[in-house]
């Protein structure tokens, strides 16, 4: 071990005694930072993913450039034979060279460590994922460095060694890609997929250190180091000698073991989930659902024996999830695997269940062909059946399976109702959200203007989405009584009406938001803009399109810890209105869910919302604006008698005084209060902490100052909006197990800096400051070395 460390130190010192090493370090760091900052501010996400996505391509050239002279230069100078004639074993010499090169590479990687620390100024990084990403890069460098050392042992020419190493690493990077596997038989494509570098690195970089990936990189390094040792000794040993035969046999054995471990390593269990939210570990809610099973639930996986390359990694993850379900079910989950491409019976069963094959393009005999593949799941309990026709991603697979098991094994399904009759949005406007909601809830619609409308205790929650017209007395009485009896509501309000044709906004009549004040929250007649935390929008130009920030499309930020906001790191709220809390009689608790940044304000009246027009504001008026709040407690205040259905000409309450709650004591539009009097409500400043008033809790309400964020046009590309709304329904209905499972779904963490000055300082501190430190260190070290050399020869 001492010899290995001595050689490694000498190798590392040799690098830093020449300017080439500093040039390589500066180029490596500058390229990393340049490509990272080119995109990170644009996507505004607190993640190092842009750097680690580009890093393998940079290492493709950087590592061969570092390792190309490790052995090739020794051969060219003739010092290799002299070194090996010393009392140092060849394997010790090779490992010393390998460790020295690795240390240099790890120093280069350490030069990027300032990046996550400075990026944390503008966002909450998941440092568990950061640790996994750096760990994956350490393994990746170890494997690539072994390839570089092998190439350097192959030749006396450094350029040739560089080209060979780059070619071999490129082949390993491309081996697992769809482009290569499309033209190969399925068995060969599957083998190459297991040998490809990128799939293993990507798996670790997502935040999971899987034993299978560790085995891959260790086996890769061992295989190429054994080949490098064989190349070192083949010219020093007689090819007919016993030592040479043993060397060749040992090398082939190591390479064979490495190939076997990688080809069949997919069956090796064991992983460490480093993500902060334990995204790849079975959640407490899933364990609770599986542990409560008292009968067998059958999960049937329909998969092809020969899946296309782009789907094969999914199959591994699906198998992991199913294995975990079996483990935590105490024998009540039975997993059955069937192959429709091999069994006619399995094919017919999949067709009956609605699990249809998905078509993929594959290349055969130099032409594209269409091939079918299955990867669907059926969950069966008693006479019930839930089907996932095709598993396109595994991020939500745990929730899908757990919710299916939960739904099938429940005697009663919770019911959620859309409220209509006053211009509200319905299932047709929220098709994506409604589809996800229907996985675990029964959905119905209640028109409050109907003569037989009722909001009974059979409704576990209601959704009031953007009412546009006033609610007549009977509708408000029905709603108020429902809440007073402990009902739950998701209220999506609108204080400004958007005209997309002419791009202007105008206030919604006061009477359209009366209902929200029942909960103790007012939806203001304004539109919020945020100069710092917003979405970018593409604007057509005369020649090219260009991207500009759009202050009216808010990237809302979490305001407090709450079950609804757990792991929902931001919301995309287009054209939202601000909220105020109201002081009313009775106990209730207000918990802010989402706010803007401090650089936010509001616009009122009628105004243009064009992207090329900046909002008008006074800098002194900028402050955080409340956008979403959860209310728990006496949200219904008191019960009222329900009047008969109104005549068609009944006047509404438009123009009512908005400084007080519309449900005043006495008679209000024909509604007679049956219990105590209650004083008018008074508006209070926006609450950014949790405010608790005395009184027994009776209900729950979640209020958002926007109803457009769940429409398909916006929710399609903002899954965090769907997760938030589904979390809200789960919290309202107290489906805690489902809430804990869904909250594992990761949403982007926003990256928001206090000012452009801070953003620029962080960028140039990394892009220029870190490389400059290496330049200064190298300059001082080389000058000191030159001075010592002059003094030595001067004496």
* pLDDT tens column, 703-760: 999 999 999 999 988 889 999 999 999 999 887 777 777 666 566 778 888 788 888 8
Supply the pLDDT for residue 141.
95
- No. of H helices and E strands in the chain? 26, 29
Supply the pLDDT for residue 744.
62
Supply the pLDDT for residue 113.
94
- Residue 452: helix, strand or coil by DSSP? coil
Task: List beta partners, residue 416.
Answer: 443, 461
Residue length of the chain? 795
Lowest-pLDDT range of 12-21, 389-398, 415-424? 389-398
Output Rg (C-alpha) for the chain, integer angstroms. 33
Supply the mean pLDDT for the chain.
82
Supply the pLDDT for residue 690.
39
Supply the pLDDT for residue 689.
40
How does pLDDT run across 374-399, given as a tens digit for each residue?
Answer: 889 999 998 888 899 888 877 778 88
- Decide: residue 614, CB within 10 A, 0-12 exposed, 13-18 middle, 19+ buried: exposed
Between these two residues, 182 and 144, which has the higher pLDDT value? 144
The answer to whether the CB of 421 falls within 8 A of the CB of 450 is yes
- For residue 193, give Cα distances in angstroms to 263, 299, 307: 9, 27, 11
Task: List beta partners, residue 45.
Answer: 750
Task: List beta partners, residue 686.
Answer: none
Report residue 535 as tokens.
């979405």
Residue in 642, 700, 637, 652 with CA at minimum distance from that of residue 454: 642
Supply the pLDDT for residue 343.
87
Per-residue DSSP letter, 616: P
Question: Rounded to an integer, what distance in angstroms lies between the CA atom of residue 519 and that of residue 637?
Answer: 8
**Residue spans of alpha helices (H) in 354-430:** 397-409
Q: Where are the beta strands (DSSP E) in 423-578?
A: 442-447, 461-465, 488-492, 496-499, 504-507, 521-523, 527-530, 534-539, 546-558, 571-574
How does pLDDT run across 446-488, given as a tens digit for each residue?
Answer: 999 888 888 988 999 999 998 888 888 888 888 888 888 888 9
The answer to whether the CB of 389 falls within 8 A of the CB of 355 is yes
Report residue 127 as tokens.
């440092």
DSSP 68-136: TTTTHHHHHHTHHHHHHTSS--HHHHHHHHHHHHHHHHHHHHHTTTHHHHHHTTTS---HHHHHHHHHH
Between these two residues, 396 and 687, which has the higher pLDDT value? 396
Lowest-pLDDT range of 280-294, 520-534, 765-779? 280-294
Using CA atoms in the order 607, 611, 617, 621, what is the torsion angle rounded to 10 degrees?
110
Look at residue 675 and tell me whether its pLDDT is greater than 50: no
Question: Rounded to an integer, what distance in angstroms lies between the CA atom of residue 395 and that of residue 749?
Answer: 16
Supply the pLDDT for residue 31.
94
Using CA atoms in the order 668, 673, 677, 680, what is the torsion angle rounded to 10 degrees?
-30
Tokens 């004639």, residue located = 85
pTM over 0.85? The answer is: no
Question: Rounded to an integer, what distance in angstroms lies between the CA atom of residue 165 and that of residue 149?
Answer: 8
């Amino acid at each position: 071990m001492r010899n290995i460390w001595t050689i490694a130190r000498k190798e590392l010192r040799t690098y830093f005694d020449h300017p080439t090493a500093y040039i390589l370090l500066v180029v490596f760091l500058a390229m990393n930072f340049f490509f990272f900052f080119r995109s990170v501010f644009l996507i505004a996400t607190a993640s190092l993913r842009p750097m680690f996505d580009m890093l393998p391509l940079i290492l493709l050239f950087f590592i061969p450039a570092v390792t190309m002279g490790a052995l090739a230069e020794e051969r060219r100078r003739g010092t290799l034979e002299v070194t090996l004639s010393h009392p140092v074993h060849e394997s010790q010499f090779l490992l010393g060279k390998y460790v020295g090169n690795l240390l240099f590479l790890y120093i280069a990687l350490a030069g990027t460590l300032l990046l996550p620390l400075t990026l944390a100024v503008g966002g909450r990084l998941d440092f568990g994922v950061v640790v996994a990403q750096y760990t994956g890069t350490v393994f990746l460098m170890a494997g690539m460095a072994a390839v570089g050392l092998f190439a350097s042992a192959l030749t006396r020419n450094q350029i040739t060694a560089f080209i060979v190493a780059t070619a071999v690493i490129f082949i390993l990077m491309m081996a697992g890609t769809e482009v290569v596997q499309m033209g190969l038989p399925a068995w060969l494509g599957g083998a190459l997929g297991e040998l490809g570098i990128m799939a293993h690195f990507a798996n670790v970089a997502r935040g999971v250190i899987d034993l299978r990936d560790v085995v891959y990189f260790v086996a890769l390094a061992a295989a190429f180091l054994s080949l490098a040792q064989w190349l070192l000794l083949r010219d020093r040993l007689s090819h007919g000698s016993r030592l040479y035969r043993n060397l060749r046999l040992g090398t082939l054995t190591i390479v064979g073991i490495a190939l076997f471990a990688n080809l069949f390593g997919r069956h090796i269990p064991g992983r460490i989930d480093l993500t902060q939210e334990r995204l790849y570990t079975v959640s407490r809610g899933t364990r609770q659902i599986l542990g409560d099973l008292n009968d067998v639930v059958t999960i049937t996986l329909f998969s092809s024996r020969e899946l296309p390359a782009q789907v094969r990694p999914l199959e591994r993850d699906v198998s992991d999830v199913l294995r975990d379900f079996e483990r935590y079910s105490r024998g009540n989950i039975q997993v059955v695997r069937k192959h429709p491409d091999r069994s006619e019976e399995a094919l017919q069963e999949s067709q009956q269940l609605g699990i249809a094959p998905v078509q993929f393009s594959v290349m055969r005999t130099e032409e594209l062909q269409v091939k079918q593949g299955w990867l669907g799941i059926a969950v069966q309990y008693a006479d019930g059946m839930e089907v996932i026709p095709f598993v396109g991603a595994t991020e939500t697979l745990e929730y899908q399976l757990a919710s299916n098991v939960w739904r099938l094994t429940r005697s009663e399904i919770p019911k959620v109702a859309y409220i209509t009759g006053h211009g509200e949005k319905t299932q047709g406007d929220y098709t994506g959200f409604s589809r996800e909601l229907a996985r675990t809830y029964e959905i119905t619609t209640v028109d409050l203007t109907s003569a037989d409308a009722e909001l009974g205790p059979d409704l576990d929650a209601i959704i009031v989405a953007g009412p546009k017209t006033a609610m007549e007395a009977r509708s408000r009485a029905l709603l108020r009584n429902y809440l007073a009896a402990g009902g739950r509501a998701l209220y999506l309000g609108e204080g400004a009406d958007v005209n997309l044709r002419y791009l202007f906004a105008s206030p919604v009549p006061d009477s359209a938001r009366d209902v929200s004040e029942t909960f103790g929250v007012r939806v203001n007649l304004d539109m919020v803009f945020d100069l710092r935390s917003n979405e970018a929008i593409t604007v057509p130009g005369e020649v090219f399109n260009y991207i500009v920030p759009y202050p009216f499309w808010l990237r809302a930020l979490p305001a407090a810890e709450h079950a609804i906001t757990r792991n929902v790191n931001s919301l995309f709220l287009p054209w939202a209105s601000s909220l105020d809390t109201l002081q009313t009689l009775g106990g209730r608790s207000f918990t802010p869910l989402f706010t803007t940044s401090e650089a936010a304000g509001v616009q009122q009246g009628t105004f243009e919302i064009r992207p090329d027009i900046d909002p008008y504001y006074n800098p002194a008026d900028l402050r955080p604006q409340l956008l979403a709040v959860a209310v728990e407690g006496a949200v219904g205040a008191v019960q009222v008698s329900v009047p008969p259905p109104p005549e068609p000409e009944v006047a509404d309450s438009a123009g009512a005084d908005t400084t007080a709650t519309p449900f005043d004591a006495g008679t209000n539009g024909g509604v007679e209060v049956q219990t105590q009097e209650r004083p008018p409500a008074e508006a209070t400043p926006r609450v950014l902490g949790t405010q608790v008033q005395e009184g027994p809790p009776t209900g729950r309400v979640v209020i958002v100052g926007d109803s457009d964020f769940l429409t398909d046009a916006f929710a399609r590309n903002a899954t965090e909006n769907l997760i938030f709304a589904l979390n809200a329904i789960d919290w309202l209905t107290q489906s805690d197990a489902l809430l804990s499972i869904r909250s594992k779904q990761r949403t982007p963490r926003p990256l928001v800096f206090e000012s452009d000055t801070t953003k620029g300082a962080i960028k140039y501190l990394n892009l220029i400051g870190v490389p400059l430190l290496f330049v200064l260190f190298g300059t001082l070290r080389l000058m000191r070395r030159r001075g010592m050399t002059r003094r030595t020869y001067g004496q």
